[in-house]
Each structure stands twice: as structure tokens, then as C-alpha cells.
Homo-oligomer: A and B are copies of this chain.
Amino acid sequence: MAKPEAWRLDASSYPIHHTVNTRFQDLDPNGHLNNVAFAALFEHGRVRLNLDIRDWRDRPADERTMVVVVTINYLGEGHYPDDVIVCTGTGKIGGSSWEIVQALFQNGRCIATCDSVIAARKGDGPNPHSPEIREALARIEAKPAI
């Protein structure tokens, strides 16, 4: 598994930033934020992005989104009770899927990156993006800030 590229460690590469509290429950016996807590924090950013594109609570019953794959690179330790910033944007957009790329910052350090693939499903098959959805996803692409 290759290390994340440099632009992925720069908060300004991501269009969406959520400041999120850490919780005592996120700590593990080492006194650091647990790996699974990182996963929950990234999920929060992912769900918020998806909510902005389309509220899952307004969706027809036969439509849903599925997480296909999630990769988290752990780059540094996280501490309690300092807040973290979950930075989120889209990556490659497929016919009925999209990539979400993220990074987690605490006290100015990037402590993890996350790459996910989400698939839109309708019944038992894929749910191809409408032009509106595709455009909304493209508008929040993560990319080197320069």
C-alpha cells in the first residue's frame, strides 16, 4: 500500500471541512484515539457529504448507497479532548459510483487519510447518476490547491 501523495496531506485540497469533537470513548488503552474511532470520524464526513448531495431520508425505498471499500492510512496519533478537522471531497466519479477522499487533521497535523468508494444502487442493480447528481459530485472534487 503506497503512502498518500503530498497534496492529500494538505487541508486546502479538500472543499469540505467539518470540525468534530473527540470523545473519551474514542480512546484506547494506549491513551490515543483508537483506529476504529478514526473510521467513525471519516464516516461522519462521508455521510455529511452524501447528505448534502441527496438526503438519504428522502430517497425512494428501493434506492440506497453502499460503501464498497474503505482504506485508511494512519499517519499519526490522535489525542483527546482536542477537536479534529475532517476534510472531505470527491475523487473519481463512475457511472453509478463515486470516490470520496478525506484527511483527518488535529492541531495542524494530518493524522490519517481515507479513500472510499460508494455505489448507488436501485433494487438489485446500479443506480446511474443523473446529470444533476454527477454535477453536484464534481463540484466538490478534492484536488491540489496550488
Chain B residue at minimum C-beta to C-beta distance from A42? B36
Q: Does A107 sit at the interface, judged by CB under 8 A? A: no
Q: Does A64 sit at the interface, judged by CB under 8 A? A: yes
B residues in contact with A48, CB < 8 Å: 81
Bound CA span A66–B46, Å: 25
Whether A1 and B81, one on each chain, are in contact in the complex, defined by CB atoms closer than 8 angstroms, is no
Query: Which one of A6-14, A19-27, A130-138 is at the interface?
Result: A19-27
Partner of A39, one of B39, B56, B74, B81: B39
The size class of the interface chain A forms with chain B is 35 or more
Bound CA span A43–B28, Å: 12
Q: A1-B69, A25-B36, A36-B40 are in contact. Are A30 and B74 (CB under 8 A)?
A: no
Bound CA span A18–B70, Å: 23
Q: Does A144 sit at the interface, judged by CB under 8 A? A: no
26 of the cross-chain contacts (CB-CB < 8 Å) are A1-B69, A1-B71, A1-B115, A18-B21, A21-B21, A23-B43, A23-B44, A24-B44, A25-B28, A25-B40, A25-B43, A27-B28, A28-B28, A35-B39, A35-B43, A35-B67, A36-B40, A36-B43, A44-B81, A47-B81, A48-B81, A51-B81, A67-B74, A69-B73, A70-B71, A70-B72
